[in-house]
Amino acid sequence: MRGFTASCLDSATSAGATYADVRVTDTRTERLSMRNGTPEGIETASSLGFGVRVVSDGAWGFASSSDLSEGSASTVARQAVAIARASALVCARGVRLADVPAFEDAWSGACDIDPFSVSLEEKLAVLEAADAAMRAQKGVSLALSSMSFLSSAKTFASTEGSFIEQRWVESSAGIVAYAIEGADVFPRSYPNSLGGGCYQAGWEAILGLDLAVHAPRIAEEAVALLEAADCPSGPATLVIGGSQLALQVHESVGHPTELDRVLGDEAAFAGTSFLRLEDLGTLRYGSDLVSVTADATIPGSLGSFGYDDEGVPAQRDFLIRDGLLSGFLTSRESAPAIGRASNGCMRADGWSKTPLVRMTTISLEPGDAGTLDDLIADTDEGLYFDTNSSWSIDDRRLNFQFACEAAWEIKGGKLGRMMRRPNYTGITPVFWGSCDAICSPSEWTVWGLDNCGKGEPMQTAHVAHGAAPARFRGVEAGVGR
């Protein structure tokens, strides 16, 4: 591989690049899905290719190909330089990159049991058991279950002398039971909606989910929603479960703190951010209880790696500390705008895409409110919201609206009746400012998310969010009733 990457870099510099890096990525995936006891898809895929990113004439160019021949290395590298030169025609300022040391290293993610060594029959048996357990509940008309696996090997080399090899495995699985009757459709998911539980781990992560054990509960809850009352409208005290809070962190902290968005690079597509550079260290993002970190070093998290796609080592950094904005997610190009070194957030969706500033594991740090039961016991009146079903936020990441699969009334410190169609809306800093309790570390869970979309062409990043259930006061719930 060293010969191939060297050939790419030599060709780029010969063509006039002042900086170049190359990534070669070999990815293998497997996906299985089941619907009401019938297999809906069994699929394997492999993708191999490389991308060359260059700076020439002070501007960026990127070209990629699935042809890994020696001739292709040179062709693609020269194409990247030609693209950069075209960029320079409309590029008023030259690209400047924050310094990073050169690394020669290898990194691999944890994986106890290689999921690709587990037989198809064993995997299907797990899905079939969960499927049967969901459909055993009268009133469940649709049972979906799925699992997917990814194995990736990536080599990064740059003209600054880095040569880094990384390998990791990801395993995901989830189940959904639907109760559908007339104009009512109610899903309940485990362990999460949006693809289930996603981990940087092997088959052991799937076994640990015990899908069939949890299937009867979600099936029963889905059916119970048919008879539940609608979530009431108006300001309410909300206790938000960990998985929903993870998505809340994603949309209203993760994306707005991406420094490329703050600088306007994503303005036309995903939007910008309500944050400005001068807000760093001064803007009150939330209550004193709210601290949010970006950490690419958490073992088993979908947001972990050894080095990002610019060769910057994985690290942990504060985005919000005690309620104050204290950092951004950065790259080598954007970090100088805040006078800092890159905190290593540049990642690309495979070999064919150029890296963007992406989330790592962006987490709401745990508090001291005890367990979820303790928090509910401490809440006189409110609503407990669990598991996301819909999400939307404006182009500056201020006005959001989330819907959840289910809610429960809280009265006198106890969970009461179930409520259906719960949703809530708010303005980002007002919402985080209303946080008055966060559960303790024992309730803190890292939730993987394998569908974070950003950029053009659309890139899908695998990220994660640590969160424990937390309480928010005066949140507008039951919107649009």
Partner 1 sequence: MTLSPDEARELAVRAVEIATSAGAGHAEAVVIASEHSLTRFADSRIHQNVSTLDAVVSVRAIDGQRSGVSSTNRTSDESALAECCASAIDAARRAPADPFFPGLPQPRTVTSPDRSVDSTRAFGPRERAQAVAAIIEQSVTRGAKAAGGIAVTDQTVAVANSRGVAVSMPVTTYRATVLSMAPDGGSGWASDTGRDVRALAPAALGDRAATLAARSADPVTLGAGVYPVVLAPEAVASVMEMLGWFGSSAKAVDEGRSFMSGHAGERLMSPSITLVDDALSEHACGLTFDFEGMPKQRVAVVDHGVVGDAVTDSYWAARTGRPNTGHALPAPNAFGPLPMDLALEPGDSTPEAMIASLDRGIYVTRFHYVNIEDPIRAVLTGMTRDGTFLIEGGRLTRPVRNLRFTQSAVEALAAVGGVSAERQLVGEETATLSPYLLLEGFAFTGQTT
Q: Does 338 bind partner 1 (CB under 8 A)?
A: no
129 binding partner 1? (CB under 8 A):
no
Between 419 and 437, CB nearer to partner 1: 419
- Comparison of 104 and 227: residue with beta carbon closer to partner 1: 227
- For residue 430, what are the contacts with CB-CB under 8 A and spacing of at least 6? none
By the rule CB under 8 A, 423 interacts with partner 1: yes
Nearest distance from residue 37's CB to partner 1, in Å? 8
Distance CA 51, CA 60 (A): 13
The CA-to-CA distance between both ends of the chain, in Å, stands at 59
Name the burial class of residue 192, with classes exposed (0-12), middle (13-18) and buried (19+) by CB atoms within 10 angstroms of its CB. Answer: buried
Nearer to partner 1, 127 or 296 (CB): 127
Binders of partner 1 among residues 150 to 189 (CB under 8 A) are: 178, 180, 182-185
Question: Any contact of residue 142 with partner 1 (CB under 8 A)?
Answer: yes
**DSSP E strands: which ranges in 57-120?**
59-65, 104-108
Q: Is there binding between residue 132 and partner 1 (CB under 8 A)?
A: no
CB of 345 to partner 1, least distance (A): 16
Q: Give the number of residues in contact with partner 1, rule: CB under 8 A.
A: 85
Residues between 53 and 112 that touch partner 1 (CB under 8 A): 59-67, 79, 82-87, 89-93
Of the residues 2, 14, 39, 70, which one makes contact with partner 1 according to CB under 8 A: 39
Residue 177: closest CA among 224, 111, 209, 112: 224
Selected from 153, 398, 415, 418, the binder of partner 1 by CB under 8 A is 398
Least Cβ distance, residue 456 to partner 1 (angstroms): 6
Do 231 and 422 meet the contact criterion of CB atoms below 8 Å apart?
yes
- Rank residues 86 and 338 by Cβ distance to partner 1 and give the closer one: 86
Q: How far is the CB of 61 from partner 1 (least distance, A)?
A: 6
Closest distance of CB 44 from partner 1, Å? 5
CA 348 vs CA 62, 156, 237, 353, 458: distances in Å: 12, 12, 39, 6, 11
- Rule CB under 8 A: say whether 390 interacts with partner 1: yes
In whole angstroms, the minimum distance from the beta carbon of 153 to partner 1 comes to 15
Candidates 166, 304, 389, 434; binder of partner 1 (CB under 8 A) is 389
Per CB under 8 A, does 141 bind partner 1? yes
Angle at which helices 70-87 and 2-15 cross, to 10°:
40
Q: Is 25 in the site for partner 1 (CB under 8 A)?
A: no
Question: What are the C-alpha distances in Å from 116 to residues 57, 148, 169, 294, 388?
Answer: 45, 10, 10, 30, 30
Helices 120-135, 211-225: inter-axial angle, 10-degree rounding: 30
DSSP structural state of residue 390: E
Question: Burial of 90 by CB count in 10 Å (0-12 exposed, 13-18 middle, 19+ buried)?
Answer: exposed
